[in-house]
A and B are shown apart, each in its own frame.
Chain A
Amino acid sequence: MIDQITVFLENEKGRLAALCRALGDADVSMHALTVADTAQYGVARIIADTPAKAYEALNEKGFRASLTKVFAVEIPDHAGGLATLLEAFDAAGVNVEYAYCFATEGGKAVDVLRIDNHEVAEGIITSAGFRVIRPTELYA
């Protein structure tokens, strides 16, 4: 499993820019960024090459950041690839909190999933024929 950086952001002009600048200044490179937004606030989820450094840099700058364990799964690049994986969770009655995708430098599609029951989830991913990406493949 990998560490995702989650940041609570108020819906205020320039907050996302300030977040990215803080990471840039700390020499952290992002693989993926997704923002879930509500009327009042947003939650930014980030996959980066150095999550621990990113976490530290953000908290130092006064951001409300935390680290969350998520699965990064390599998805074959053809129609229905992700559907097969999600159906496997569905069949096992396992709930996926959220998911989003990004591509690696090597052109692989990666899906990020938050699932609370780690052991069960890992088993489902593997038996459905998918590969869980290790931290070493993403971290600098």
Chain B
Amino acid sequence: MTNSTGRVAGPEKYFQPEIEKMERSELEALQLARLKTTVARCYENIPFYRETFDEAGLAPTDIQTLDDLRKLPFTTKQDMRDSYPFDLFTLPVDDGRVQRLHASSGTTGNATVVGYTQNDIDAWGDTFARAIAQVGGDEHSILQVAYGYGLFTGGLGAHEGGIRIHSTILPMSSGNTKRQVQMMHDFGVDILACTPSYALLIADTAIEMGFDPANDFKVSGAICGAEPCSEGMRRDIERKLGVKMVDIYGLSEVMGPGVSCECRHQSGLHVAEDHFIIEILDPDTLEPVPDGEYGEVIFTTLSKECSPLIRYRTRDISRIVVGTCACGRTLRRMDRIQGRTDDMLIIRGVNVFPSQFQEVLANFEEVTSYYQIILSNKGPLDHVTLKVETVPAFDFDEIRRIEDLQKRINAELKSNLQVSVEVMVVEPKSIERSEGKARRVIDERDKD
């Protein structure tokens, strides 16, 4: 088989074309009907929403148009923590209809717990199944799920997608990378679903094991999410594995992966607008920003039965991609996440997202995709050290070449981020490889 980046060819595939290509007017009517149902359901069954609605002087019947959504109060992560474990459920947990629970790690407070009815799980699976179709998958495909299975929504979300589209599922979970590679090869896996950093580790491991996955493996699509992925990293994954990689987005509070996903044109993530309303607001004023401008992403769920959310503040920064997509889907697109308002680093007073470091490094072919940012105090100022590894082809015999590389990366970061960075070249593989979410930032600054 000849191979270039992305083997997905042929006609555009859709899992639910009747929804994915629905007329906007029809879609908006569907959204409004579902919004009314959701608001009523929240008001009747969740004391938190009854209280916040009453405080705002609102009744569910005040929602008559989609614009009326803006009258409704927000829900924050803290509200979810305060409702631990089940206070934001519309159903008693032992009611018989709550089929599953997922929860966030809760390292900084109570975990956020979300419940799913069978309908919730099916809707979730449908949205992930759309992603599978977007990389050319169907009931004939083998889907390798290398997201972690468990309370984290990645593994089981991808799994449900495979069930809905009737793919053959290989439920690997994350870890045991050599076995992942061996089975991917031996079973003729078509589609890989995992975090982008794990996709890269799988690719590198395959190459180390002596394979040329781009040519020797059948795999043709990758669905990657749960952490930021730069264009450079995407190209790396696509080239090494010989796949088309689409970026998938989701968060456990709202559902899990599938809230939005790129199509094969890779120009923004189509939001599953039949299940969610997206708003982009200025995080300070909480007023909408014009399409195309960055702001905080807010989601309202439209079909969730157990854990609906009204105007949930994700803390993620993105924007609406303006215009229509070549794939024919009418579902609007959001851009890839620029950063998290929580992840945003404030370095010497400058707002910086780790993804910006990644974007800069992607332009240097001398370094690998692995990097780590270390923040420390050196005197009164914040000090930033960026660890990078050089690629095997880089000639480091002359020290001035290493110094020259450091200087060029430093200059590029300085002009892009307005932050001065100490670039540190480290030995191969000394930057932590990850089987889940990579730890890209180590903050050693004094907290006071």
B396: contacting residue among A4, A8, A40, A97, CB under 8 A: A8
Asked if B390 is at the interface (CB within 8 A of a chain A CB), the reply is yes
Evaluate contact between A43 and B428: CB separation under 8 angstroms.
no
Write the nearest CB–CB distance from A87 to chain B, whole angstroms: 23
Interface string of A1-18 (1 = CB under 8 A from B): 000101011100000000
Interface string of B378-413 (1 = CB under 8 A from A): 000000000000101001111100110000000000
Asked if B429 is at the interface (CB within 8 A of a chain A CB), the reply is yes
Evaluate contact between A114 and B397: CB separation under 8 angstroms.
yes
Question: In the assembled complex, which residues on chain A have CB atoms less than 8 Å from the CB atom of B402?
Answer: 41, 43
Question: In the assembled complex, which residues on chain A have CB atoms less than 8 Å from the CB atom of B19?
Answer: none
Instruction: Give B424's nearest chain A residue, CB to CB.
Output: A40
Evaluate contact between B396 and A63: CB separation under 8 angstroms.
no
Evaluate contact between A62 and B429: CB separation under 8 angstroms.
yes
Alpha-carbon distance A8/B402, docked complex (angstroms): 10
Alpha-carbon distance A43/B399, docked complex (angstroms): 7
Evaluate contact between B430 and A10: CB separation under 8 angstroms.
yes
Alpha-carbon distance A64/B398, docked complex (angstroms): 14
Question: In the assembled complex, which residues on chain A have CB atoms less than 8 Å from the CB atom of B251?
Answer: none
A10: contacting residue among B395, B397, B426, CB under 8 A: B426
Evaluate contact between B399 and A38: CB separation under 8 angstroms.
yes
Question: In the assembled complex, which residues on chain A have CB atoms less than 8 Å from the CB atom of B429?
Answer: 62
Evaluate contact between B427 and A9: CB separation under 8 angstroms.
yes
Instruction: Give A43's nearest chain B residue, CB to CB.
Output: B399
Evaluate contact between B399 and A36: CB separation under 8 angstroms.
yes
A62: contacting residue among B398, B425, B428, CB under 8 A: B428
Q: Is the interface of A mostly helix, strand, loop or mixed?
A: strand
Evaluate contact between B397 and A43: CB separation under 8 angstroms.
yes
Alpha-carbon distance A6/B402, docked complex (angstroms): 13
Instruction: Give A116's nearest chain B residue, CB to CB.
Output: B398
Question: In the assembled complex, which residues on chain B have CB atoms less than 8 Å from the CB atom of A62?
Answer: 427-429
- Count of A interface residues, CB-CB < 8 Å: 19
Interface string of B357-385 (1 = CB under 8 A from A): 00000000000000000000000000000
Asked if A29 is at the interface (CB within 8 A of a chain B CB), the reply is no
Asked if A66 is at the interface (CB within 8 A of a chain B CB), the reply is yes
Evaluate contact between B396 and A6: CB separation under 8 angstroms.
yes
Alpha-carbon distance A8/B425, docked complex (angstroms): 9
Evaluate contact between B396 and A64: CB separation under 8 angstroms.
yes
Given A9-B427, A40-B425, A63-B427, also A114-B399 (CB < 8 A): no
Asked if A84 is at the interface (CB within 8 A of a chain B CB), the reply is no
Alpha-carbon distance A97/B424, docked complex (angstroms): 23
Evaluate contact between B396 and A43: CB separation under 8 angstroms.
yes
| Interface-centre pick from A36, A45, A66, A114 (highest chain B CB count, 10 A) | A66
Asked if A126 is at the interface (CB within 8 A of a chain B CB), the reply is no
Alpha-carbon distance A45/B397, docked complex (angstroms): 8
Alpha-carbon distance A38/B399, docked complex (angstroms): 9
Evaluate contact between B398 and A8: CB separation under 8 angstroms.
no
Evaluate contact between A68 and B397: CB separation under 8 angstroms.
yes
Instruction: Give A64's nearest chain B residue, CB to CB.
Output: B428
Question: In the assembled complex, which residues on chain A have CB atoms less than 8 Å from the CB atom of B397?
Answer: 4, 6, 43, 45, 66, 68, 114
Question: In the assembled complex, which residues on chain B have CB atoms less than 8 Å from the CB atom of A4?
Answer: 397
Alpha-carbon distance A64/B428, docked complex (angstroms): 6
Evaluate contact between B396 and A66: CB separation under 8 angstroms.
yes
Question: In the assembled complex, which residues on chain B have CB atoms less than 8 Å from the CB atom of A45?
Answer: 397
Write the nearest CB–CB distance from B330 to chain A, whole angstroms: 51
Interface string of A25-37 (1 = CB under 8 A from B): 0000000000010
Alpha-carbon distance A63/B427, docked complex (angstroms): 7
Write the nearest CB–CB distance from B201 to chain A, whole angstroms: 16
Evaluate contact between A64 and B424: CB separation under 8 angstroms.
no
Question: In the assembled complex, which residues on chain A have CB atoms less than 8 Å from the CB atom of B403?
Answer: 38
Question: In the assembled complex, which residues on chain B have CB atoms less than 8 Å from the CB atom of A40?
Answer: 424-425
Query: Which residues in chain B, 395-448, are within 8 Å of chain A measured between CB atoms?
Result: 395-399, 402-403, 424-430
Question: In the assembled complex, which residues on chain A have CB atoms less than 8 Å from the CB atom of B399?
Answer: 36, 38, 43
Write the nearest CB–CB distance from A63 to chain B, whole angstroms: 7
Question: In the assembled complex, which residues on chain A have CB atoms less than 8 Å from the CB atom of B390?
Answer: 8, 64
| Interface-centre pick from B390, B396, B403, B430 (highest chain A CB count, 10 A) | B396
Write the nearest CB–CB distance from A20 to chain B, whole angstroms: 16
Alpha-carbon distance A114/B401, docked complex (angstroms): 14
Alpha-carbon distance A131/B113, docked complex (angstroms): 77
Interface string of A62-81 (1 = CB under 8 A from B): 11101010000000000000
Question: In the assembled complex, which residues on chain B have CB atoms less than 8 Å from the CB atom of A114?
Answer: 397-398
Write the nearest CB–CB distance from B161 to chain A, whole angstroms: 38
Write the nearest CB–CB distance from B373 to chain A, whole angstroms: 16
Write the nearest CB–CB distance from A48 to chain B, whole angstroms: 15
Instruction: Give A41's nearest chain B residue, CB to CB.
Output: B425
Alpha-carbon distance A49/B424, docked complex (angstroms): 33
Question: In the assembled complex, which residues on chain B have CB atoms less than 8 Å from the CB atom of A36?
Answer: 399
Cβ-closest 6 pairs across A and B: A6-B397, A68-B397, A64-B428, A10-B427, A8-B396, A40-B424
Can you identify 16 A-B contacts, CB atoms within 8 angstroms?
A4-B397, A8-B396, A10-B426, A36-B399, A41-B402, A41-B425, A43-B397, A43-B402, A45-B397, A62-B429, A64-B392, A64-B396, A66-B395, A66-B397, A68-B395, A114-B397
Other A-B contacts than A43-B396, A62-B429, A114-B397, 9 sampled, CB-CB below 8 A, are A6-B397, A8-B396, A9-B427, A40-B425, A41-B402, A63-B427, A64-B390, A64-B392, A64-B427
